[in-house]
Structure 1
Amino acid sequence: MQTDDTAPARRSLSFASPQEVIDDCQNLSSAPCRMLGQWTLSQNIRHLAQGVDCFYDGFGFQLNWWRRRILGPLLKHHVLRRGMPQGVRLPVDAGTLLPPAPDDDLPAALEHLKSAIRRLEQEAPRHPHPFFGPLTHEQARQFMLRHAELHLSFAIPAPEPAPR
């Protein structure tokens, strides 16, 4: 097990707009990057797109009542303002959000994310979040930004080559 002194550092991200998420994904996909987690960059981007899709197509699972009614509302504002913790385990019936299948089609994943974000910018969410419950349009937008900060923090761009 790695200690904090030897653990690779994740990036510290703070997205203010969905366009910043798209720009970061495009920058990461245009040059080599190292992934600190267990997912590829393509899997992370596809997961973010699927997370947005769930606000419109349904999440396909619900958490037990005490998490939805007690914990969710207590933590919603903290997560929307300060970010998501790493290591949250999704239930086994959260099939649409579980780690996507290995995928090397980075351009397709990026296009899926752009499409999902366009939808998010134009339409209010139709389905409640399984943990936080109903979210306003702005809260769904903030949730997407915090979710992207978490997942994209594991992507470390390759350093620029030193000038000769």
Structure 2
Amino acid sequence: MSETQTHRDIPLKRRTLYFQNIDQILEEADRLASGDYQKCADWSLGQNCHHLATWMVMCMDGLPHFPMILRILIRAVFNKDKILQKGFKPGMNVRGKLKKLEPTSDITDETGLEALHKAVERFRHEPKLPAHPLLGKMSDDDWLQLHLRHAEHHLGMIHPM
């Protein structure tokens, strides 16, 4: 399980993934961890897994508070149903409070993968928050769809070799 950097004339593009259940997230992460991989963005497999785990746990433990004006603007720009069905667009630049939630460079693949496995286990059994601070009311299935789309986005940036 290691990251391989190669010099290519054409940069890798994000893979298109589609997860239908939470087990598929773990299966893909474990598959990627079982061999060498290339990344098409800045984060390693471990950092991506840790990021996914952090956000998954927050839907149970609580998310950062956002000012009302920001919540209104985000809800006007982001369509919850579209995100839950079609996923995230690449290139989102995180600032402010959310910047603190980015994984650090010292997170290993093993550490990130372990965090993801623990988060998924909690997600299976614990109650979720009734609302997302930026997307509004969320059912348990909405939370699941959000995490599936989020994992497609991040694990799609890792290419098995």
- TM-score class, shorter: 0.7 to 0.9
Q: Pick from 20, 23, 26: which aligns with 1:22?
A: 26
**TM-score under structure 2 length normalisation:** 0.84
- Look up the SS of the partner of 2:159 in the other structure: strand
Structure 1 Cα separation of the partners of residues 37 and 65 of structure 2: 33
Structure 2 Cα separation of the partners of residues 125 and 55 of structure 1: 6
Distance 1:127 1:55, change over 3 A: farther
Structure 1 Cα separation of the partners of residues 58 and 100 of structure 2: 8
- Match of residue 5 from structure 2: none
- Match of residue 129 from structure 2: 126
Q: Pick from 8, 20, 45: which aligns with 1:41?
A: 45
Using the TM superposition, give the Cα deviation of residue 130 of structure 1 relative to its aligned residue in structure 2, in angstroms. 2.8
Alignment of 1:61-140 (within 5 A): 61-62=65-66, 64-72=70-78, 75-97=79-101, 99-126=102-129, 128-140=131-143
**TM-score under structure 1 length normalisation:** 0.83
Cα RMSD between the aligned structures?
A: 1.9
Runs ≥4 residues deviating over 4 A = none
Identify unmatched segments of 5+ residues in structure 2.
1-8
Using the TM superposition, give the Cα deviation of residue 67 of structure 1 relative to its aligned residue in structure 2, in angstroms. 2.1
Distance 1:95 1:58, change over 3 A: farther
- Match of residue 161 from structure 1: none
Q: Which moved more, 1:108-117 or 1:41-50?
A: 108-117
Higher strand share: 2
Identity %: 28
- Count of aligned pairs: 151
1:141 and 2:144 matched: yes
